[in-house]
Amino acid sequence: MNVVNQVFDALKGRGRRQQRIWRAAHHSALGASHVRDGIMCQDYSDSRVLDDGKWAFVVVADGHGSERHFRSDRGAQLAVQTMREVFLAFHERVRAARESVDPGDLHALWAQETSHVVPTWRAMVHADLVAEPPMLPGRQGGERGIVRFVTKFAEHNGLAQTEQLFWQLRGFAQYAGQWTSPTPAELGPLPLPDDSRWDLPKLGSWQAKAYGTTVLGVIVGPDSLHWIQLGDGAMVKIVGGQASYLVPPPPEAIGNMTPSLCDDNAPDGIRVGTIPLDHGHVPSAIVLTTDGVVNSYIEEQGFFRFCQDVAERARAAGGPTRDGRGRSAFVDDLERWLPEISRRGSGDDMSVALAWAGEVPTDHRDEPPPDSAREMPESTDAVDVAAEPETASSPAEIAEITEPASEDVEQVPEDRPGVSIHNPAAAFAHTRVDTDLDGADEAPEESAQTNTGRGVTGDDQGR
């Protein structure tokens, strides 16, 4: 039985069972290495519940750390904003589909909506660049990121190329000056370097790279779960109290290289899928993390035990009201834990976003899905859901990346301990971070800084 038929069967039986209630929370924390180097948080995250807990979405984005990605913090925020719009649009279309569209088309709707992710993100990047072109270094200083970028570029390239880069930055400032407060819709997606409308010699091709980021997202409803993946990080499900990958990390993500929204062939790197929540497959929680969390563990099982502990603590702490408003006490725990895990582990920024079931129907068994449910078609582009309804592309096979993936380099603290887990049963970070998260030390005040996607639940997005 294919996925579409499974979803159809799940929808036909939805009236025979108790409704599960979803809760959601998220938090992004500044990494220890960024505290040390005075760099802002380049992660961003979001979560929300919809329809009194019938639906929830979670999303995390990890802006790249190398110098050429000098606005990756903005890129991550725009990726989350893009996903939010896509999730809401998909949620609205599903609600309409239940009355006027064959429910067997549910996965096709998801694939359709997610096809808008890359063009929407590139349009937002285009508008952000035009509204605020990078400030060139000069007597008055300049945007810190562009200074680092130009300095690094000059170290690795000759004088002629560096001079050309300066002219391209000036050329883009002139290009931006032609517009007066344009919207992303008016500007359209940032053209690709080989687009005939783009003056490559004059403007260069650095623009999208400056905003480079990954993005992972999940929206879960009464009968199905829909996911999107572009780049590294982890997408984990909790079934029967045990953690495993909802979707394995992409094979293209190796070392510091990862597929990215800023790649010219980004649509080929996006994977999407649909999982029906009948046929015995009802995760009690979904946990998304950026790679800073994953890389703080020597062993995969240690990271999975962290996800299990986080999900259990979230359920114990409770969540916001069914309308998604308010803040779960669990977010306070994340604010304390993540900076400490970063300090003792990877040193990178960290994001966790999770959705957990507050009420699970008794006729649903917490066990893995049948093999047929695991064979999901994949498609392109991403989607993000937020606290109010709004609008998803057709399945497409993943094309191999023909160009090097984007570089996601983070500077790890030189004094980072490289010891193994002292208590394998506790399963925490590279050092003595304990499974008993209550014992985590309070991080220094600056370590607790977060981006505007700071830990919240429901509609309190902290924006």
Task: Say if residue 35's pLDDT is above 50.
Answer: yes
What pLDDT sits at residue 327?
A: 67
Q: What is the pTM of this model?
A: 0.76
C-alpha to C-alpha distances, 104 to 19, 275, 446, nearest whole angstrom: 21, 13, 50
The residues facing 281 across adjacent strands are 366
pLDDT digits (tens, 9 = 90+) for 377-403: 333 233 222 333 333 333 232 222 223
CA distance 123 to 269: 19
Structure confidence at residue 360 (pLDDT)? 53
What's the pLDDT score for residue 319?
A: 60
Residue 359 has pLDDT above 90, yes or no: no
pLDDT in tens, 258-292: 999 999 999 999 999 998 887 556 899 999 999 99
Per the model's pLDDT, the better-predicted residue between 412 and 26 turns out to be 26
Higher pLDDT among residues 109 and 372, named by residue: 109
Average pLDDT rounded to a whole number, residues 411-415? 33
**Any idea which of 71-85, 248-262, 387-401 has the lowest mean pLDDT?**
387-401
Using the predicted structure, report yes or no on whether residue 459 has a pLDDT greater than 60: no
pLDDT at residue 75, rounded to an integer: 98
129 — pLDDT class (breaks 50, 70, 90): very high
User: Span 330-357, mean pLDDT?
Assistant: 93
Domains and CATH numbers, the chain: 3-116+213-448 (3.60.40.10), 126-209 (no CATH)
Look over the chain and give the mean of its residue pLDDT values, rounded to a whole number: 76
Helix, strand, coil content of the chain in percent (nearest 5): 40, 20, 45
Q: How far apart are CA 124 and CA 201, in angstroms?
A: 23
Model confidence pLDDT, tens digit, residues 56-68 = 999 999 999 999 9
Write phi, then psi, for 258 (nearest 5 degrees): -150, 145
> Which band of pLDDT confidence, cut at 50, 70 and 90, is reported for residue 223?
confident
Distance CA 286, CA 238 (A): 6
- Tally: H helices and E strands in the chain: 15, 12
| pLDDT of residue 110 exceeding 70 | yes
The pLDDT, as a whole number, for residue 385 is 29
Q: Which residue's entry shows tokens 């993100």?
A: 121
- Amino acid occupying residue 103: P
Which pLDDT does position 99 carry in this prediction?
Answer: 61
The DSSP bridge partners found for residue 213 are 63
- Residue 319: count of CB within 10 angstroms of its CB: 27
User: Which residues are within 8 A (CB) of 349 and not within 5 positions of it... i.e. 6 or more apart?
Assistant: 28, 29, 30, 31, 34, 41, 42, 43, 62, 290, 292, 342, 410
Exposure b/e, 254-270, CB count within 10 A at least 16 = b? eebbbbbbbbeebbbbb
Instruction: Compute the average pLDDT of residues 293-308.
Output: 95
Beta strands in 248-308 (DSSP E): 257-258, 271-276, 285-289
